[in-house]
Amino acid sequence: MAHEGGPGEQGDWGGVPGHSGWGAGAWRPEGWGGAGGYGWAPPPPRPGTIPLAPLDFGQLLGGGFKTFTRYWRPLTAVVVTAYGAFMVIGAAALAIAYAAAHGHLKTLTSLDGAPAPASDLHAVVAWAVVLGVLGLVALVTVQSLVTAACAVTVQDGALGRATTYRAVLGRSLRRLGPALGASAASWLLGLVPAALFMGVGLANGAFTSHIRPDPAPILIAYLVMIAGSAVVVWPALRIVLAPTVAVVESCGPRAALRRSWTLVGGAWWRTLGVLLVAGCVAGFAAGFVNVVLEVLGIVGTAGAFAASDGSGATIALASVLIPVSVALILVECVIMLYPQLVLALVYVDRRMRTENLAEVLIRSV
């Protein structure tokens, strides 16, 4: 019978390889009764969303979907809480920045061709940089919280445990710091392709501004960007499980990075394939929902205009577009939970294959 998971039920998952809470050695089907004398092994137990055995490609993708359908309420509530707080804090930061830089902006927008004062320009640029950095940090924090929530939910889902919004949010917040530290390494690696992309853009602008541009520098810039991005992908994927490790195993960022590097080793291409397919599935679903909501928005806007006079057109337009826009944002955030759930299942699968986690979980059910 399902029971509610809690923070004290970490012992089935966390620990150091070889000690309690972990399996020893590779997975063996004999863990739940053996093959017997007839060459037949019973199917692995399935108390929750996945069978307690190494997962194949389809089980990883299907397990993510089953986890979401079973636990969509607490997961959606955590997403709404996280991104809602992000939007509120972002709006407050924008308001503060605008109030502080309003005078400088007013000066810059009323120059009528005159040179821009350096002090006003520097003040506006400084506020823009501050907002950009704070926004990036806030976004990484929110996504780390969502990743932690997915890891916590997969823990409960694998064993068939019920959970609640408060339990998921509480456990995720307690491990947010290490998960954020582990995520920072991936984000820093992600800045390398972004910097290369900006370099290619600058190269295009520099060399195509001439009357007879030389294509060789542009081609070299594109080749450097492609090669640099390819080089970054390999270490980035090796540490992709680090936030999940930090949450499930209650370890620090450095230990989580080392564990992820070890777990993904030997399964790099499989991990890449699973995450690419999960991302494509989520992207297709998000695109389909976007089209549906946009069509509804267009129809609703046309109906609102037809039903209102000229003076109320703006209010009618806002009454349709604002709910549709909010719905678009929420739906996309919820749909993008799916790749995170699949990522957590990849972690479970790697431990089942290399550390015999299945036997430990079977004994704990």
Q: Where are the domains of the chain?
A: 45-364
pLDDT the model gives residue 298:
79
Contact 128, 105 (CB under 8 A): no
User: Which residue, 11, 31, 16, is CA-closest to 356?
Assistant: 31
Find the helix or strand (DSSP H, E) in which 49 lies: none
Give the pTM.
0.81
Residue ranges, the chain, pLDDT below 50: 1-9, 18-37
Contact 50, 158 (CB under 8 A): yes
Find the helix or strand (DSSP H, E) in which 57 lies: helix 57-70
Q: Whose structure tokens read 């989520």?
A: 282
Instruction: Provide the token pair at 10.
Output: 């970490």
Q: Compute φ and ψ for 162, nearest 5 degrees.
A: -75, 155
Where are the extended beta strands (E) located within the chain?
none
Instruction: Provide the token pair at 49.
Output: 């969303």
Quote the CA–CA distance of 249 and 320 in Å, as a whole number: 46
> How far is CA 60 from each of CA 51, 55, 278, 302, 362, rounded to the nearest angstrom?
10, 6, 9, 43, 19
Quote the CA–CA distance of 85 and 328 in Å, as a whole number: 17
10-13-17-20 Cα dihedral, nearest 10 degrees: 60
Over residues 69-92, the pLDDT tens digits come to: 999 999 999 999 999 999 899 999
Quote the CA–CA distance of 342 and 348 in Å, as a whole number: 10
Start-to-end C-alpha separation, the chain:
9
Contact 77, 90 (CB under 8 A): no
Quote the CA–CA distance of 55 and 60 in Å, as a whole number: 6
Quote the CA–CA distance of 344 and 346 in Å, as a whole number: 5
> How far is CA 90 from each of CA 96, 111, 131, 184, 334, rounded to the nearest angstrom?
10, 29, 9, 20, 20
How much of the chain exceeds pLDDT 70, in percent? 78
Long-range contacts of 197-204 (CB under 8 A, 24+ apart): 197/225, 199/224, 199/225, 200/224, 200/225
